[in-house]
Structure 1
Amino acid sequence: MSESTERAQSPVKVVLPGLLMAMLLAMLDNVIVGTAMPRIVGDLGGVEHLSWVVTAYVLGTTVSTPLWGKLGDLYGRKTVFMTSIVLFLIGSMLCGVATSMVQLIGFRAFQGLGAGGLIVGAMSVLGDLVPPRERGKYQGQFAAVMAVAMVGGPLVGGFITDHANWRWAFFVNVPLGGAALVLLALRLHVPKRRTEHRIDWLGALLLSIGVTALVLITTWGGSQYAWGSAQIRGLAVLAVLGLVAFVLVERKHPEPIVPLGVFANRNFTLVALVGFVVGFAMFGAITFLPLYQQIVQGASATNSGLLLLPMMGGMLVTSLAVGRIITKTGRYRIFPVIGGVVLVGAMLLLAQLGAHTSKLTSGAYMAVLGLGLGFLMQTTMLIAQNSVELKDLGVASSTATFARSIGGAFGVAVFGAIFNHRLHALLGERLGTAAADKMAAGGGGARIDPSTLSQLPAPVRSAVVDAIAGAVSSVFLWSVVAAVLVPVLAFFIREVALRGGPSEQAERTLVAQEG
């Protein structure tokens, strides 16, 4: 490696631990609370509001993501990124001292607002420090952190729940986030640009209304309210009106939250669609894996996290390898195509899950899923960032993240409906319609858990296990339909030279240090 390249890489290496820690905190807090929820409900009560502890966080993150990206483009990446960390830490402390379920839900929404800035900020700062030609290997590390969070969240949450008070699931963020904040404050230097500031507050409000309505539809539809109910229809109308008005405002505003011009770039539009479909197929399908592992395979809540290790390993290895190959060769188009094909194969394999599938076999299937995701997750972000001008880097990062989040929300809703329908049908075949109505009530087998399952008579227990396995298999089979779109869309991505190289990176770093 040349001396100039080493000098160029040193600033990002210094702050990389802080960026990775911020990403880890945002991803970890999305899953760490799950295993602590029984203790939280036991302490605070309010079981009827249980789902809102998660939904409030997701809603806050999703709504704020585009706004954080634009604020970073306007006011400087460092200031906005550090502000999001502070908000996240304040939200974490407030969650830790909550005395009622209503308080906890409100504080989780506040925490989610900060989390949206963590994810976008980390990716945007990396984009400022490292040009796309050199960015692949670093984004591979970000994908590895995401994999660790997906598996580590349930494990950490289970450990904290078993050995400490549930409040430490939130307090643990404070020392970790504080360390990242100090490191970034002292060592992070990014280019400073002068920009005329006119925040598109109306656009931000309309986007928040539209997105909030969409998230509420996917959260409440088929569970709290029937899909054809007045509440869901009203939310659908509100979502359409909000998003249509948002597009009209964005077309005329001089500093739009989401510049619609970025969608004129073919590659950017394609990877946004790929991100939506990946989120739809991935989050919508793997949501049901823990249920399968605990009900069908008899794993504990903590051990179900360990059973996801093959997926994490596959994603970790592939992400790091692909990142280094992209950095070395500058070629990337083939990877989302390969990832899409592998993703389809993984969904077909997981559709074979049954009541008697061994943990070894299911682990092998999940490893294939991890391999496919490793080809896709950060490669699509790299292509999105390379498709826009530097002034729109934050918007590109936030829009790509936003597309994946919205896809996941829709996926959970659609596959949840498929799961419930299939579960009811299978239970009806074995136990009769009346019993099926009683056991499948609440959505997604919400009244079926390992403790109640062990108390059922053997024939009923066998029927429930078979029904859960069959319903999960159906979810993965239907997810193939969505997954097939990924390699098809990726095939039309053009191989555009990645901006920058070692010499340009050295020049950019010098500008950052002088700024």
Structure 2
Amino acid sequence: GIPLILCTISIILSIFLTAIDQTVVITALAGIEEAFGGASQIGWSTAGYVLPMAVLALFWGRFGLVMGRKSSVLISIFFFEVGSLICALSKSMGMFIGGRVITGIGAGGIQTNVFMISSEITPLNQRGIIIAFVTMSLIPAAVIGPVIGGLFTSSKTLTWRWCFYINLPFGGVAALFLSLLYKPKNDKSRFIWNWNKTIFKRLVNTFDLVGVLLVGISLVLFLVGCSLGGTGLNGFNKPVTICFTIIGGVLFLCFIYYEFYCYKVNQEMHYYPMLPKELIFKRQVLAPGLIMLLSNMVFNGSSIYISIYFENLLGNSPSRTGVHLLPMILPTILTTMISGLICSKVGIVKPVLIFGSICGVISSGLITMLNYHSSDGEKIGFLFLVGFSFGFFNQASMIAAQLSVSEDQTDYTLIITSFTAFMRSFGASLGGIVLTSIYSNTVNKELQKYPQFREETVDQILKNGSLQGFDQHEASILINALSIGLKWVFHSILILSVSCLFISFTTSNARVPQKKKEDTDIVEA
């Protein structure tokens, strides 16, 4: 009815804001740097948002399970709004980055809880459609964000600060609709606030705080280590990069060991680990989770570096680049809706994932052929296939994982949804960071052959992509180096796509039930 439609619109608006906020600063960086200086810190305006969004996704899933999805998403929106206001009112680079971190914390909660709410307000045989609508709202943000940032930054009457002011009214409307229209039956807080000597123990166990700390610290160290690997010459050989990456990996293994073997489950007290061993070890859950991770690494990496191809290599403006990306965005929206309908109305999931993976391998292979002299027809055709393939993954992966438990196991369904939402966020973040490191190191290595390009000059080129100030010979050298860097990135994306294809064959053969739950069973492979 109308309340369900308005509730769906509000969660779509909420998650769209988080997605657009991730890309809006790309074209606003020049204005922000001009206002505050601090060129060496400007990269954290993006990393400060992306890192907490990915790292805290599992915690927000746990928080939503314990405190209720409605309370959790409203608190997340509050963090998002406060962070946006701090960014808009910033007086220094440190204040701005702090605001981005708070915004990222809220964005992680919004994205995780929106997928949980989407899975809760609809039955399994209709879930593919609503998840498709939610997923579709994320896709245009890759194009719209940089365009909005560029328009505000170049405006004579507005400034880059309006990139963040604009979040306030839309976030307020989303929060109002959710608070009035989202009325779940089993969404009450499970935590008993008895202020006695056991409350600390109950807080630690209920929210799995040890697991939160381990996964949070490990992922931050690992992602920062990967990010540092893309700075300067031979970034991955620097001791700080090696230490951060290795320590982060070891701590993540400690997190897995703690979750699987040390955490004490107590169903009466609602003590559950964030990653229950009996769920995550299931092929039916792990395989879709890995597909979610790899497909978002591929799509986010493709979006970033196809944009860099148009801006840095071909010299297009951000707004014109957005137009060039439409052949990738539009088919993604179309196939997202089609795959959602197939999963819900036909009931098949595995064939959708396999078909999408095959298309992904073909499209990833084709974009390795992009170069400075590619024709318009090649650009449009290659980008169309990239977008066409990605639309088959997100909702099909999430539904495939949810089919591993019966529909009446609400807690396990929400835990699985939280896990797949985490893999989506982490994949998008990891893809951007790892591929950036590959790109930066490759370009640096190529330019080391020419003494006129010093390390700081290369870093400046990689940051703003400008070839101005170089003569024709130097510009030719730079174009060649950037082309080689992009080639390495696109070949890495191809490897990820092939891995995704192999994993898609291991997913369950379970089908979405087309009748009422009591009349049908889910038969797994």
Match of 1:72 among 64, 69, 94: 64
Q: Distance in 2 between matches of 1:474 and 1:247?
A: 32
Q: Which of 96, 108, 111 is matched with 2:100 structurally?
A: 108
Task: Find the residue that maps to 1:227 and give its secondary structure.
Answer: helix
SS at 1:353 equivalent: coil
Residue 480 of structure 1: how far off its partner (Å): 1.2
Taking the TM superposition and a 5 Å limit, the aligned residue runs for 1:42-441 are 42-163=34-155, 164-192=158-186, 197=191, 198-223=206-231, 226-251=235-260, 252-254=263-265, 255-388=272-405, 389-424=409-444, 426-427=446-447, 432-438=449-455, 441=458
Shift of 1:294: 1.3
Structure 2 vs 1, CA of residues 40 and 274 (structure 1 numbering), >3 Å: closer, same or farther?
same
Q: Which residue identity does 1:201 align to in structure 2? A: L
Distance across 2 between alignment mates of 1:253 and 1:221 = 38
The one-letter code sitting in structure 1 at the alignment partner of 2:331 is G
| CA-based RMSD | 2.3
Equivalent-residue separation in structure 2 for 1:242 and 1:405 (angstroms): 20
1:383 Cα deviation after fit = 1.8
Question: Can you list the C-alpha shifts for 1:374-415, whole angstroms capped at 9, x where unaligned?
Answer: 011221122223334320333322321222333344433443
Among candidates 455, 462, 465, match of residue 446 of structure 1: 462
Task: Report Cα offsets for 1:191-221 as digits up to 9, x if no partner.
Answer: 2156754221111111111111111112112
101-110 or 260-269, which moves further after superposition?
Answer: 260-269
Compare the two structures and name the one with the higher helix fraction: 1
Structure 1 window deviating more from structure 2 (256-265 vs 179-188): it is 256-265
Q: Distance in 2 between matches of 1:12 and 1:476?
A: 41
- Amino acid of the residue matched to residue 240 of structure 2? Q
| Deviation for aligned residue 1:248 | 3.4
Runs of 5+ unmatched residues, structure 1: 1-8, 506-515
Letter in 2 for 1:103: M
Q: Cα deviations across residues 74-107 of structure 1 (Å, max 9, x unaligned)?
A: 1211111111111111111111111100111111
Q: Distance in 1 between matches of 2:514 and 2:27?
A: 44
Q: Counterparts of 2:515 and 2:453 in 1: how far apart (Å)?
A: 61
For residues 164 and 430 of structure 2, the distance between their equivalents in structure 1, rounded to whole angstroms, comes to: 27
d(CA) in 1 for partners of 2:459, 2:11? 40
User: In the alignment, which residue of structure 2 is the partner of 1:513?
Assistant: none
Q: Would you say the 8 A contact 1:20–1:145 is kept in 2?
A: yes
After superposing the two structures, state which structure 1 stretch, 358-367 or 156-165, moved more: 358-367
Once residues 261 and 193 of structure 1 are traced to their aligned partners in structure 2, the CA distance between those partners, rounded to angstroms, is 24
CA contact (8 A) 1:336 1:379 kept: yes
Deviation at 1:136, TM superposition (A): 1.3
Structure 2 distance, partners of 1:322, 1:487, is 17
Asked if the contact 2:230–2:440 (Cα under 8 Å) also holds between the matched residues in 1, the reply is no
Counterpart CA distance in 2 for 1:351 and 1:357 is 11
Shift of 1:417: 3.8
TM-aligned CA deviation for residue 354 of structure 1: 1.0
Counterpart for residue 510 of structure 1: none
Distance change >3 Å, CA 135–CA 448, structure 1 → 2:
closer
Q: SS of 1:496's equivalent?
A: coil
Contact 1:136 1:327 in 2 (8 A): yes
Between 1 and 2, higher relative CO (CA 8 Å, sep ≥ 6) is seen in 1
Structure 2 letter corresponding to 1:19: I
Which residue identity is paired with 1:127?
A: S
Q: Tell me the secondary structure at the aligned position of residue 139 of structure 2.
A: helix
Answer with 257-266 or 315-324: which moved more: 257-266
TM-score using structure 2 length:
0.88
Q: Name the amino acid aligned to 2:209.
A: W
Q: Residues 357 and 497 of structure 2 are in contact (CA less than 8 Å); yes or no, is this contact kept in structure 1?
A: yes
Report the number of matched residues. 491
Give the TM-score, by structure 1 length.
Answer: 0.89
Any idea what the Cα deviations from partners look like across 1:457-480, whole Å, max 9, x if unmatched?
222223322332232123212321
C-alpha spacing 1:289/1:440, structure 2 compared with 1 (3 Å): farther
Give the distance between the partners of 1:497 and 1:168, measured in 2 at CA.
46
